[in-house]
Amino acid sequence: MVRGRLRRENRGVSPVISVVLLVAITVILAATAGYVVFGLADETKAVAPQPAITATYDRTTDGDGQALELVFEGGDTLEEKNVYFVLQDAVAVNPSGSDSAAEIDGNQIDAQIGSEIAAGATMTIDADATTVDTTSSPSEKLDLSDATLRLVWDPASADIQETETIWRWSDS
């Protein structure tokens, strides 16, 4: 008689475990389907490219003045339409003695490199690549001693609203 009682008490455990497992599997499948259907899987943040850039600073003050040569050594390939340079605190020394702020003239990336920036590409920031923000005469020399140059990534995707500085140079 004792054996019969033990068997009857153990019979209820198996259906309870199977119901719990079935409910757990159903919840996991519903959560996965909801994640895909509502597009939460598409909201991953885009990772900014990581280029490897070497900058060579020419401190020469004769001729056109100072220059900065950028060599793209490797890393991620960049599309010209998604990046731009910001030059701050560069000074154009004018023959008249009045110094002015200098900025990068137009799209120097496209002019010097092309539509795709890959390993081996070279770009020079010098007096020829800059413009003065006044209507005075063109600069004779470029002073980059206090300048900061940033390469900014601005993705073309409408889903991504962020810009990110992916490279920065400063002489200090």
CATH assignment of the domain containing 135: 2.60.40
pLDDT score of 167? 75
Cβ–Cβ < 8 Å for 38, 12: no
Both 34 and 82 in one domain: the answer is no
Q: Are residues 19 and 67 in the same domain?
A: no
Q: In this structure, are 161 and 110 located in the same domain?
A: yes
Query: How many Å apart are CA 93 and CA 126, to the nearest integer?
Result: 12
Are both 37 and 77 inside the same structural domain?
A: no
Task: Tell me how many domains the chain contains.
Answer: 2
Residues 78 and 141 in one domain: yes
pTM: 0.64
pLDDT tens by residue, 87-126: 888 888 877 777 778 888 777 888 888 889 889 999 888 8
> In the numeric block, which tokens belong to residue 60?
């020469």
Same domain, 13 and 81: no
9 three-state secondary structure: helix
Residue closest to 148 by CA, chosen among 70, 86, 104, 64: 86
The whole-number pLDDT of residue 172 equals 56
Question: Based on the domain organization, do 35 and 72 belong to the same domain?
Answer: no
Residues 6+ apart with CB under 8 A from 60: 66, 67
Q: CA-to-CA distance for 168 and 145, rounded, in angstroms?
A: 15
pLDDT at res. 47:
77
| 100 shares a domain with 56 | yes
Are residues 134 and 66 part of one domain? yes
Whether residues 29 and 85 fall in one domain: no
CB 108 within 8 A of CB 129: yes
Q: Could you list the residue range(s) of the whole structural domain that residue 145 is in? A: 51-170
**Residue among 167, 163, 171 nearest 53 (CA):** 167
Cα angle, residue 27 at apex, residues 25 and 32 outer, rounded to 5°: 95
3 state SS of 6: helix
Tens of pLDDT along the chain (172 residues) come to 455 555 555 555 677 888 889 999 999 999 988 887 776 655 556 678 888 888 888 887 677 788 888 899 988 888 888 888 888 888 888 777 777 788 887 778 888 888 898 899 998 888 887 776 544 455 568 888 888 888 888 887 656 667 778 778 876 5
Say if CB 88 and CB 104 are below 8 A apart: no
Please name the amino acid found at residue 15. P
Q: Based on the domain organization, do 119 and 151 belong to the same domain? A: yes
Query: Are residues 38 and 69 located together in one domain of the fold?
Result: no
| Cβ contact 152:83 at 8 Å | yes
